[in-house]
Structure 1
Amino acid sequence: MVSVRSVVDRVGPTLLHAVSVPGVCPQVSDVVIAEPGAGTHIAAGDLVLGVSIAESDAAVALVRHSAEREAAAVLLKPPVTQKTAVRRAARSAGIALVEVRPATAWAQLVWLLRTVLDAAEDTIDEDEQGSGDLFRLADAVAAVVDAPVTIEDTNSRVVAYSARQDLTDPARVSTIMGRRIPDDVLAKFRSRGVFRELSRGRQTIFVPAQRDGTLPRLIVPIRMGGELLGSMWAVVTGPVSDERAAAFADTAPVVALHLLRRRAHADARRRASAELLRAVLEGKVGPRKAIAELELSDEPHRVVVIETPGSDTPDAEGMRLALLERISQGIGRRPVVTELGAALYAVVPERAGPGSWAELRAAFGELKEKSRPRVAAGAPVEIAELARSRSQAEETLGLLRAGLLPGHVGSFDDLWTALILHRAATAAGPARVTELGPLERLRAHDQANRTGYVDTLYEWLRFPGDPRAAAKALRIHPNTFRYRMRRLLELVPLDLDDPDVRLALITQLVALRWS
């Protein structure tokens, strides 16, 4: 059996939201529709659908009746799910309360819930089975509209297509071959407002033939619960009769159910992979299992940590998922990814090619500055040492977060000088090296007079014998730099000709700036 939480996760937030779930998550065995009154036969583990419940008193009665029968959860639509009395009744009775989104059709939800429960008991490869169903469904839809059809997701990727694609045009052939609409073809449809019309909820959209030989298209959006899940594209010879177009549109709810089922299967597989990857990164799983179950190649890989902007905001999880979807587009192989804390962790191969660190790094570089996250990569290691690469990536991310490194992206092996300075500064802190010698006098003078002598001395030591370079680093005139050096040496006599004095000072100043 499967838990209430798993059912909600697999169906997805488009249709369901868990209002409250007991600490010990109940297991689900079946789905029943509550009849008016207490006449419904409810058994232990049932999901009870309050189809006709619109008042809070009736909802409270159903919740208590279901809890007495040890049902797993009660599913209701708002506004009754938002009533304090209903929520209190569910918590006190120890039964899960799940909100069904207002636009969801109960019949479609029943079908989908039973699909999820059947899938939990099924040993067949769900992903392959779901894909096969979609291709058969594409053939059925093509027969309805009497034209070759593709079923596409919201990113214009082809998830299934019908037969007879040889009777189409080069744009459709390229779409089938590449499993997504080519960018140039996409631009043409976008310029005609096709995707704007899809988002507005039009039932059908007709696009006439184009001058380059692209045949007409009849497009139907696929929606459920108010969310756009994708679209169906039929290549037609010309305008389609209203009756046939309506029949084509009538197939959309059935396709929507299959797309949700496909997404539920994919989500389940992704969650399993994420849990396994977390164990790998924590050093709890050996390389053999990681290679077999995560489909990693037996070669060096890097761990990449991706910290999204606003990671402490309420919608941070949605931002991370949206970011993952965006960066996965256009790269050859989707990275193996999991979430730890407030960041995404990806494992990517070191070699050049699809899905590599170089390709992922380039994908981040193409993001707009405002939405660009901090990204840090550990050094390339064997699969058995991914935990070490994770630690290196986290250390590099810490330097990016502290502003000690320029930009938003860095890798452990490229930033060795900064890492050495930071580690040296971290080690020097407990030894209180900055309290020794005359440096404290300079710091006190700077704080009292805002003179900047400590920074001046630091740049003098960084650029020995080159006052122009030191002045440029401070963004002051070389003469101003020379004047500051004379003044600080008058304040604190230092023998800067002594190499040991210079080494001691640079150690102190590094501890100040890099700790």
Structure 2
Amino acid sequence: MLDIRAVIERVGPTLLRTVILPGSTDCVGDVVIAEPDQSPTVAEGDLVLGVAVGDRDAAVRLSRECGAQGAAAVLLKPPLCADPAVIAAAEETGLALVEVRPGTAWAQLVWLIRAALAGTAVEDTDTRSPGLGDLFKLADAVADVVDAPVTIEDAHSQVLAYSARQDLTDPARVSTIMGRKQPDDVLAKFRARGTFRQLSKGSSAIFVPGQQDGTLPRLVVPIRMGGELLGSMWAVVPGEVSVERSTAFADTAPLVALQLLRWRAVADAERQRSADQVRQLLEGGDRWRVAASELGVSHDPHRVAAIEVSTSAEEAEGHRLAMWEWITRGVGRRPLVTEVGNVLYALVPDRPGPGGWPVLRDALTAAEGQAKPLVAVGTAVGVADLHRSRSEADELLALLRAGQVPDRLAVYEDLWHLLVLNRMAGAATDAGVASLGPLPLLREHDRSQGTEYLNTLHAWLRHPGDPRTASHDLRVHPNTFRYRMKRITQLVDVDLDDPDVRSALLVQLLAARWARQR
């Protein structure tokens, strides 16, 4: 247990300065926030923070009441802590009076004092534990300052942390905490009221009145650093909040911003490490076993999904990840991802249930009309062959970009035949097959005379013995189709009754057509 002197020493002189310290001090019990216009209820040894104390009379009254109840100290900011009347009141009751340095966030002070009382090194709490656990502790401290349940959210309204106390709540808050994100219908209501527009512009706390559907009032403060909006804090309040407490709530934002930056740095480092290991899996080689072991990837079949979103280069990196998080919300454990160039690759288990390919496919199909990503998915393979699934996904993605697949989702099992044609076209083009046989003469005739003989021959080869279907593909009359075929046999010497000749011509025409589309 620590006395007041030890607490001040642990928190440090940059935040606290002793104004009055009695000769003998008892051990400190807990930290209490003084309520505005209310007599404090404190226990012996408590530290009382005058968060909402706004004038001399209130400070004097607080000092006397706390001293009478056996509190250890009252903490005030200048100029109240230096006021002679306040000092006299503290001396009369044997109360320690401590100055809280200007600019100190009350939430930071609550956080650090509780860390000191719990036996945690202040320097560790303050600088070396940037994980989400610190954000939860910080949410508790902020909740004490504003006297209301608090959530800390990122710029996409994802809940990063929330205070332990959730005594004042409504269905929207329950859904937010359970889903770790504000529901879309709740977000729409706050957008309609202009709450997010105010958050993007200012830095002070925003009061949002209660709504007719039972949503309780909110006090919201933006969290920003260097002009960047990192997120926001939301407190559920019973009604209008005093200026002092609202200001104290807003004053906690810089501390939370610092923690968010540190948390983001750790999260980014972990994400980068995971992305590097996923990239090793997709590339194959000698290190795939190590990467699979470190990522905890089972040897069950997996698929590789390649995702591309139409967006500017400046927005691409964050936009792809945000879009992917939005699509995969509610599918269970999110697939492992990595970025290569401008493509996001996801490693998806090929199994039913949460996080598996069938659930993810449903999510991708449902999201097509909104997020509008191009998504190509390779076949299911073992972990050692993920490079093959990735290669198939890349090929399918190229077909999506070229418009050779009418949908925005391309899956190997549905479109393997297009991969056959694509690879055949590439091989045939490299081998120079387009220059063989009668096709160069027909191609030149089409170019110089404006005819459609190559397309006509292609339709005839695709529908042998069925001129009506072939003419329908070309959108011409069957007699026109028959006339064109007669002219082709007059222009070039080719035996269309020979099945090998027909096969060779079809390969040439398919290769030429696919080569133009690649």
**TM-score, length-normalised on structure 1?**
0.69
**CA 1:511–1:330 in 2, change beyond 3 Å: closer, same or farther?**
closer
- Within 2, Cα distance between the matches of 1:483 and 1:127? 83
- Within 1, Cα distance between the matches of 2:430 and 2:132? 60
SS in 2 for 1:165: coil
**CA 1:180–1:308 in 2, change beyond 3 Å: closer, same or farther?**
closer
Task: Report the counterpart of residue 415 of structure 2 in structure 1.
Answer: 415
Per-residue CA deviation, residues 139-189 of structure 1 (Å, 9 max, x unaligned), is 111111111111111111111111221331222122111111122222222
Residue 196 of structure 1, CA deviation:
1.8
SS in 1 for 2:167: helix
- Tell me if 1:203 matches 2:204: yes
Match runs of 1:367-446 below 5 Å: 372-446=372-446
Residue 330 of structure 1, CA deviation:
4.1
Question: For the Cα contact (< 8 Å) 1:349–1:356, is it kept in 2?
Answer: yes
- Tell me if 1:328 matches 2:325: yes
Task: Report the counterpart of residue 79 of structure 1 in structure 2.
Answer: none
- Within 1, Cα distance between the matches of 2:194 and 2:237? 19
Task: Report the counterpart of residue 87 of structure 1 in structure 2.
Answer: none
Per-residue CA deviation, residues 410-441 of structure 1 (Å, 9 max, x unaligned), is 23332221122222333333443333322221
**CA 1:173–1:367 in 2, change beyond 3 Å: closer, same or farther?**
closer
**CA 1:127–1:292 in 2, change beyond 3 Å: closer, same or farther?**
farther
Per-residue CA deviation, residues 103-156 of structure 1 (Å, 9 max, x unaligned), is xxxx99xx9xxxxxxxxxx999x9985211111111111111111111111111
Q: Percent sequence identity over matched residues?
A: 59
Residue 461 of structure 1, CA deviation:
1.1
SS in 2 for 1:243: helix
Of 494-503 and 441-450, the range deviating more from structure 2: 494-503
- Tell me if 1:504 matches 2:501: no
- Within 2, Cα distance between the matches of 1:364 and 1:207? 35
Task: Report the counterpart of residue 316 of structure 2 in structure 1.
Answer: 319
In structure 2, give the amino acid aligned to 1:157.
Q
Of 494-503 and 447-456, the range deviating more from structure 2: 494-503
Task: Report the counterpart of residue 343 of structure 2 in structure 1.
Answer: 343
- Within 2, Cα distance between the matches of 1:222 and 1:497? 77
- Within 2, Cα distance between the matches of 1:240 and 1:196? 21
Residue 254 of structure 1, CA deviation:
0.5
CA RMSD of aligned residues (A): 3.0
Alignment gaps of 5+ in structure 1: 1-106, 112-121
**CA 1:480–1:185 in 2, change beyond 3 Å: closer, same or farther?**
same
- Within 2, Cα distance between the matches of 1:270 and 1:224? 22
Residue 451 of structure 1, CA deviation:
0.7
**CA 1:318–1:363 in 2, change beyond 3 Å: closer, same or farther?**
farther
- Within 2, Cα distance between the matches of 1:489 and 1:303? 48
Per-residue CA deviation, residues 378-399 of structure 1 (Å, 9 max, x unaligned), is 2111111111212222232333
Aligned pairs, number:
392
Question: For the Cα contact (< 8 Å) 1:305–1:344, is it kept in 2?
Answer: yes
**CA 1:147–1:431 in 2, change beyond 3 Å: closer, same or farther?**
closer
Question: For the Cα contact (< 8 Å) 1:328–1:335, is it kept in 2?
Answer: no
Task: Report the counterpart of residue 178 of structure 1 in structure 2.
Answer: 179
- Within 2, Cα distance between the matches of 1:195 and 1:295? 39
Of 245-254 and 422-431, the range deviating more from structure 2: 422-431
SS in 2 for 1:337: strand
- Within 1, Cα distance between the matches of 2:181 and 2:461? 57
Match runs of 1:136-215 below 5 Å: 136-201=137-202, 203-215=204-216
Question: For the Cα contact (< 8 Å) 1:127–1:262, is it kept in 2?
Answer: no
- Tell me if 1:135 matches 2:125: no
**CA 1:466–1:454 in 2, change beyond 3 Å: closer, same or farther?**
same
Question: For the Cα contact (< 8 Å) 1:286–1:384, is it kept in 2?
Answer: no
In structure 2, give the amino acid aligned to 1:232.
M
- Within 1, Cα distance between the matches of 2:474 and 2:342? 36
Larger Rg: 2
- Within 2, Cα distance between the matches of 1:454 and 1:444? 10
**CA 1:202–1:253 in 2, change beyond 3 Å: closer, same or farther?**
closer
- Within 2, Cα distance between the matches of 1:453 and 1:252? 72
In structure 1, give the amino acid aligned to 2:421.
L
Match runs of 1:37-76 below 5 Å: none
Question: For the Cα contact (< 8 Å) 2:302–2:380, is it kept in 1?
Answer: yes
- Within 1, Cα distance between the matches of 2:291 and 2:343? 21
Question: For the Cα contact (< 8 Å) 2:203–2:250, is it kept in 1?
Answer: no
Per-residue CA deviation, residues 259-293 of structure 1 (Å, 9 max, x unaligned), is 11110100001111122222222223555433332
**TM-score, length-normalised on structure 2?**
0.69
Per-residue CA deviation, residues 189-239 of structure 1 (Å, 9 max, x unaligned), is 222221122112251211112222221111111111111111111111111
**CA 1:201–1:292 in 2, change beyond 3 Å: closer, same or farther?**
farther
- Within 1, Cα distance between the matches of 2:373 and 2:212? 42
